[in-house]
Amino acid sequence: MEFEAGDLNPGEAEAFARLADRGVADVESLVASGLPAWARRAGRIRFLVSSQIRISRTKHGVVYLPLERVKNSSAPYLHETVHALVPSRGNRTWLSEGLACYLESHVSETLGGYDAHVFTQAGNGGIHAAARRTLAGAPGRAVLPWVGGYGDPPRLEEDRSRVARPFYVLSQSLTKHLVEVVGLEAMIRAVVTGRGDLGEWKRGWLAALG
């Protein structure tokens, strides 16, 4: 765990370090059985917290979190922990992000920690209802071709409100549907291997949403 000097007092830094350590253990307890030996972590996950970081992300096993989100308990540390523990192949952004959203909500709802609610307050319990509302609007319908497919919708990074928000909501909803249909282990294997045509289940998901 690394912080900028003076940004957090020792108590705040220690509290977040404990929270992150527990989050890593909780996420790992759920994903380990689905990971092939080569994908399992060999060392500690490094968390870097800084006021210079604008958007949370994970790269090469390092979790980058904005300082203000850590200070106000809205940092998506569980979401990014999933990315650090479950490497993604196959250019299916919806699957990698949907799994991270799903597990962030699942861990916070059943094991502890908090859900950052970056794109929705719904959690797993309300994500399908949120997806229905999202699909009722033009932004949701615009990103739908990339949910269950390959690549990123245009301006995913730049337009967090009209592109990223509906894309993440729909990806979490489809992921939750697939976890219930094929199981969590199958979803994890699909993320790390890039194999498996999960898009074929999209029609069933949309039908279930009504």
What is the chain's mean pLDDT, rounded? Answer: 93
pTM across the whole model: 0.94
Six-digit token string for 90: 């196959």
pLDDT above 80 for 157: yes
What is the biggest distance separating any 2 CA atoms in the chain, rounded to whole angstroms? 52
% residues pLDDT > 70 (the chain): 98
Amino acid 117: pLDDT: 95
Vertex 141, ends 136 and 165: CA angle to 5°?
Answer: 85
Query: What is the mean pLDDT of the segment spanning 159-183?
Result: 96
Range 140-171 burial, b when 16+ CB lie within 10 A, else e: beebbebbbeeebbeebeeeeebbbbbbbbbb
How far apart, in whole angstroms, are the C-alpha atoms of residue 143 and residue 152? 9
pLDDT at 7 over 80: no
